[in-house]
């Protein structure tokens, strides 16, 4: 049997307001700040990781804090990030909760096969809450402001926007061994959304591809997404994915040690950045699980520069 990806690992987006971002994702959405670190390629910028109570792979939404303008929306991009809850009752609870927090939620409806509603964060990050009907694991955080039965369970599906399906679909199916499941017409001319599934299937392992040839190309900025990462269990499996990309002559970063996981980056033909990341060793490798995110964490190769790095970071609170 061909190697299979395990689902969505994480999604990394962009904020220009780290303090406001921290407030929204921890106080309004109730996620746990599981790692406060810096962008390993640009140590002047925070890299914030929000996840479930156990910092599980597949639950973390991460943000680079960059002083940039707003995203210019368009195609050739990751267009919407879905977060999973466990029931239709939770969707109703969340609509009331978001309204009380000053957020305008959309209507609950079936969208691309799942009961969902859309909303945006204060910087225009496009989000969706999806009823996953209790599928998969749930690791609530006792420190969350959200009742345990309504807490966000993890990521997925993630929606891409591309002008042309064929080259992206070829990478998803022929290289990454995803399965095309179904399509959903959008009602806008030749636009439609195609659903692809990774090994285990279900909302946590789906990638949705919206074909939108009428849109201009997106411009990256605050409120936009930088990349999406897919799960592989071990470093040995990551080696196999590295070899597989090379066998298709796909340019890649080569394997990169991110300390909390090991990664491989490449772009699909419509220019969207993909990552394959290992499930381990995880965020508890350098601080206790019970106190994740309470101090600035730095990988060993940056530890000697801690004083200099901390001096250039603005306070989050």
| pLDDT-above-90 percentage for the chain | 93
Structure tokens that stand for 268 in this block: 């699909």
Q: What is the pTM of this model?
A: 0.97
Q: How confident is the model at residue 137 (pLDDT cuts 50, 70, 90)?
A: confident
Q: Helices H, strands E: what count in the chain?
A: 6, 16
Q: Answer yes or no: is 317 within a domain.
A: no
pLDDT mean across residues, the chain? 96
Cis peptide before 29 (omega within 30 of 0): no
> Is residue 259 scored above 70 in pLDDT?
yes
Place of tokens 């290289």: 175
Q: Answer yes or no: is 269 within a domain.
A: yes
Rounded to a whole number of angstroms, the CA Rg of the chain reads: 19
**Model confidence over 19-38: pLDDT tens digits?**
999 999 999 999 999 999 99
Place of tokens 């859309």: 118
* Cα-Cα-Cα-Cα dihedral sign, residues 217, 219, 225, 227: positive
What is the signed CA dihedral for 212, 213, 217, 222, rounded to 10 degrees?
-10
| β-bridge pairing 206-211 and 154-162 | parallel
- Give SS3 for 8: strand
Look at residue 189 in the predicted model and tell me its pLDDT: 63
Average pLDDT (243-268) is: 97
Q: Answer yes or no: is 2 within a domain.
A: no
Q: Are 20 and 102 in contact (CB under 8 A)?
A: no
18 burial type by CB count under 10 A (0-12 exposed, 13-18 middle, 19+ buried)? buried
| CA gap 294, 84 in Å, rounded | 25
Look at residue 186 in the predicted model and tell me its pLDDT: 79
Task: Report how many domains make up the chain.
Answer: 1
What pairs with residue 154 in β-bridges?
84
CATH code, domain carrying 208: 3.10.180.10
- Give SS3 for 117: strand
Q: How confident is the model at residue 41 (pLDDT cuts 50, 70, 90)?
A: confident
Q: Answer yes or no: is 1 within a domain.
A: no
> Is residue 188 scored above 90 in pLDDT?
no
Structure tokens that stand for 298 in this block: 């730095």
Q: Answer yes or no: is 13 within a domain.
A: yes
Look at residue 2 in the predicted model and tell me its pLDDT: 87
Structure tokens that stand for 78 in this block: 């990751």
Query: Which residues contact residue 138 at a Cβ distance below 8 angstroms, ignoring those fewer than 6 apart?
Result: 52, 86, 151, 153
Q: Show the domain range for 163.
A: 8-312
Strands (DSSP E) found in the chain? 8-15, 32-39, 42-51, 60-65, 77-85, 109-111, 114-120, 126-131, 154-162, 179-185, 192-197, 206-211, 225-232, 255-257, 261-267, 273-281
Cα–Cα distance list, 116 to 61, 87, 110, 287, 302 (Å): 19, 10, 6, 36, 41
Q: Answer yes or no: is 238 within a domain.
A: yes
Q: How confident is the model at residue 236 (pLDDT cuts 50, 70, 90)?
A: very high
Q: Answer yes or no: is 46 within a domain.
A: yes
Of 42 and 238, the one with more pLDDT:
238
Low-confidence winner among 155-164, 171-180, 205-214, 308-317 (lowest mean pLDDT): 308-317
Q: Answer yes or no: is 183 within a domain.
A: yes
**Model confidence over 47-89: pLDDT tens digits?**
999 999 999 999 999 999 999 999 999 999 999 999 999 999 9
């Amino acid at each position: 049997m061909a190697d299979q990806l395990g689902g969505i690992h994480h999604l990394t987006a962009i904020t220009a307001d780290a303090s406001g971002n921290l407030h929204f994702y921890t106080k309004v959405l109730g996620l746990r700040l599981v790692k406060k670190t810096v962008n390993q390629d640009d140590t002047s910028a925070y890299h914030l990781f929000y996840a479930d109570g156990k910092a599980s792979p597949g639950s973390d939404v991460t943000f680079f804090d960059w002083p940039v303008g707003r995203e210019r929306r368009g195609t050739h991009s990751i267009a919407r990030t879905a977060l999973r809850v466990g029931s239709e009752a939770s969707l109703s609870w969340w609509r009331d909760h978001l309204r009380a927090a000053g957020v305008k939620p959309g209507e609950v409806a079936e969208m691309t096969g799942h009961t969902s509603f859309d909303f945006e964060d204060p910087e225009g990050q496009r989000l969706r809450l999806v009823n996953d009907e209790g599928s998969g694991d749930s690791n609530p955080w006792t420190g969350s402001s959200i009742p345990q039965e309504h807490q966000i369970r993890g990521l997925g599906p993630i929606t891409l926007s591309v002008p042309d399906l064929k080259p992206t679909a070829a990478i998803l199916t022929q290289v990454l061994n995803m399965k095309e499941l179904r399509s959903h017409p959008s009602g806008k001319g030749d636009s439609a959304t195609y659903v692809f599934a990774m090994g285990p299937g279900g909302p946590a392992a789906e990638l949705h591809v919206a074909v939108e040839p009428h849109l201009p190309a997106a411009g990256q900025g605050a409120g936009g997404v930088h990349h999406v990462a897919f799960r592989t269990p071990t470093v040995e499996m990551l080696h196999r994915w590295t070899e597989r990309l090379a066998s298709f002559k796909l340019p890649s970063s080569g394997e990169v040690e991110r300390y909390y996981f090991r990664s491989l980056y490449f772009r699909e033909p419509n220019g969207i950045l993909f990552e394959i990341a290992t499930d381990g060793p995880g965020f508890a490798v350098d601080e206790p699980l019970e106190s994740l995110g309470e101090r600035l964490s730095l990988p060993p190769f940056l530890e000697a520069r801690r004083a200099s790095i901390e001096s250039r970071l603005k306070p989050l609170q």
